[in-house]
A and B are shown apart, each in its own frame.
Chain A
Amino acid sequence: MATQAAFMPGSKVQTETFWGTVWSWLTTVDHKRIGILYGTSAFIFFLVGGIEALIMRLQLARPDNTLVGAERFNELFTMHGTTMIFLGVMPLSAAFFNYMIPLMIGARDVAFPRLNALSYWIFLSGALFLNSSWLFGLAPDGGWFGYANLTSSQFSPRHTIDFWMLGLQILGVSSMLAGFNFLVTIINMRAPGMTLMRMPVFVWMSFVTQFLLVLAFPAITVGLILLMFDRFFGTLFYAPAAGGDPLLWQHLFWIFGHPEVYILILPAMGIVSEVLPTFARKPLFGAPVVIYSGIMIGFFGFGVWSHHMFAVGMGPVADSAFSITTMLIAVPTGVKILNWIGTLWGGTIRFRTPLYFALGFIAMFTMGGLSGVMHASPPVDLQQTDSYFVVAHFHYVLFGGSIFGLFGGIYYWWPKITGKLLDERLGLWHFWLMMIGFNVTFFPQHYLGLIGMPRRIYTYAPDLGWNFWNLVSTIGSFLIAVSLLFFIANVVRTMRSGQVAGSDPWDARTLEWAIPSPPPVYNFARVPHVHDRDDFWLQKHGDGHGSAPRPKPAPVTAAEIAAIHMPSTSYWPLLLALAMTVMISGLMISMYQVIVGGLLTLYLMYKFAMELHRPAEGHGH
């Protein structure tokens, strides 16, 4: 039964008590609050993954080191990768999807607000379930990509792989539900006049990302189901002795895994496409071309997956086919980079922290892209694969790319979300220390890979010539950690005494800057009518061709605001997420738990669906 939250738009939420506040966050269906929940959780898990990385770097700082042993090291690289990808970058992107997409398209919320909350609580349950493995001494240790048949019950008899396998299934449900939600939101909830081509590029990149989410996750869902059946029910999918092929896992995994890396990078590309025009005071150069390039990357991203498998012996035909598609996909990416540079060219540049991170993105992502294109050639990749060269490549695109882009988004949109501006000086300290630290950590790894250092080793002999650059890399990683301290200090200081931002501190271009900071719960007092891309900018500054500015609309009345109906809070998403986690985790504990969890899930799905059925007539009979 939905509690009719006593909420009058325009007034403060009446939650004076601490527990009242907690309850309001647990039952929120407001996309802005859900965005904050995602962002906060993601940052915490980013730090967890960072600590896992620092321990690994400490272990590798010297040859024959004994800080952690081989088993623990396997757990660390498995959890570092899984955490950073699924609990770090993806939810951080989700934070921006949640907060910004409705604002940028002129909507009051997403298409399915309760489903949105459900996605978050399922994510959090999955994240906690996965990390609970540490407490049981059963952290996953098969790599973030879990290759068969190392993951079989024969070679991984303990529950470590089960935590990973079931944790990913839970997280997958969360991602897919969110994908459906944002797809429908972007297609169907745009303000009048907001045609698809007038949408901000961040919304477009996010749109493509949602398609990738809902089309790629089913493949890994199936791969994980096959693994689950092998481990729990004795099927033979990945059993070589019965004719099963471990490569089936690799194919299913990478059919997901390659689109996944575009899921990781496209939102950051979208952020950069918003930040650059704002701080260059120029429209995005060739915005339609950037949009089409994003669409092409998304679509053709489904055709390159076996470039992760050049060393498994697929044969020359398969190798060549995937090599060609991989080289082709570099083209739209390169086009975007040129368009970003074209945006800056001739612009009036204002150097602020968000712009620094966007520029860092362009430089670092380009470097990562270049090493990636090298991998596209199978003979070259045969030397590079499974070496630190690959580690360098993907950290350049995922950290130098995604993380830098996401931090750019954090600095850019912080004033909109909190009403306060982050401190510029601390921001620049963060940026420069992170930039230097990042390059000191990962640039030497290109070299280490090429002189023969393999991935996923917990130690190395002292006479291989790897000692010096490993030490340098470790020092770099601690510089990154220090840079994050500056970020945290910035956040703490700003929350206490930061400069008030106002609605449009950057003189920006898109709709979210037209409303107060932070926005009221209903976002727009009056749904905007959009006439062009960057409509807000045109309203403020005209189109530069001397046409008369649009007449100012009549001020919003209290009656208009009172007529806005926002959805009520609901506790069903939280309960349903818990029930699903009980059910799925039961697969490795006991069938009774699965059955009880399953029945509870079905019951709660029914209650969730019935909550809004015939609301005007009171609760359903």
Chain B
Amino acid sequence: MADHAATHAVHDPNIGNTGLDNRKMGMWAFLGSDCMFFGSLIGTYLAYKGKSISGPGPHDVFDIPLTSYSAALLLASSLTMVLALSHLQHNRVKSAARWLLVTALLGAHFVGNQVYEFTTFALHHGLTLSTSLFGSSFFVLTGFHGAHVTGGVIWLLILVGLAWRGQIDARDYTKVEIAGLYWHFVDIVWIAIFTVIYLIP
């Protein structure tokens, strides 16, 4: 395996002695670290759950149908992401670009729903960052998740643009793969947030 990898190293400097691409490994290490980041935010939310002394509570404001729809959007976007990668693997760049665009649009729709949700909470329910512990911890946790999604959408749109201009093909599989890993991670964080924050009473 070491010799096989050594031969590959001559061709592709990104492949190391494990046979894995450095960038893919780096992305997984980053995602592990991001687990700690979101873990700290979720821990904060749970530590303060039920301890607000005033203001609306979670079940006064949560719109479960809308949030469930948003969760479905992200799950669907994970599917479209792997479909895009599958096309790219077979060098069908235009199809890959189309599926990447769908993924980005689904993500953008998710963020749009979140903006709607935030403004509804603020304007209709009087829940803002400074209203209560619930307001603070909810907006910061979901806001940072939304920021991660937004970053992912920008990344995907850049990839779509590069693909349309013929600057991406099957050779760049790993680069798009790591964008996919980031995207799926953002999805699984939402799986955790959706259940622990929205569904569990």
Contact = CB atoms under 8 A, between A and B. Distances in A.
Interface of A: 111-112, 176, 179-181, 183-184, 187-194, 214-219, 221-223, 225-226, 229, 233-237, 242-245, 248, 252, 255, 527, 565, 602, 606, 613-614, 620-621
Contacts of A252: 40, 44
Main secondary structure of the interface of B (DSSP, over half): helix
B130 A236 contact: yes
Contacts of A194: 17
B47 interface: yes
A602 B129 CA distance: 26
Count class of interface residues, chain B: 35 or more
A192 B17 contact: yes
Interface in B7-44: 13, 16-18, 20, 22, 25-26, 29-30, 32-34, 36-37, 39-41, 44
A111 B22 contact: yes
A111 B133 contact: no
A248 B192 CA distance: 22
A151 B37 CA distance: 22
Contacts of A235: 129-130, 135-136, 139-140
B33 A176 contact: yes
Given A111-B25, A190-B16, A243-B52, 16 more contacts: A176-B33, A184-B22, A187-B25, A192-B17, A214-B30, A216-B36, A221-B37, A221-B40, A229-B129, A229-B136, A233-B129, A234-B130, A235-B130, A235-B140, A248-B48, A620-B167
B3 interface: yes
B186 to A, nearest CB: 16
Given A242-B53, A606-B158, A248 B130 contact: no
Contacts of A234: 129-130
Contacts of B132: 236, 242-243
A176 B54 CA distance: 38
B137 interface: yes
B92 interface: no
B179 to A, nearest CB: 11
B76 interface: no
A180 B130 contact: no
Contact of B29 (A180, A216, A222, A243): A180
A495 to B, nearest CB: 35
A189 B139 CA distance: 42
B123 interface: no
Contacts of A527: 6
Contacts of B130: 233-236
13 contacts: A176-B33, A180-B30, A180-B33, A184-B22, A189-B22, A192-B6, A214-B29, A218-B33, A221-B40, A222-B37, A235-B135, A236-B136, A614-B167
B200 interface: no
A215 B31 CA distance: 10
A229 B140 contact: yes
B40 A218 contact: yes
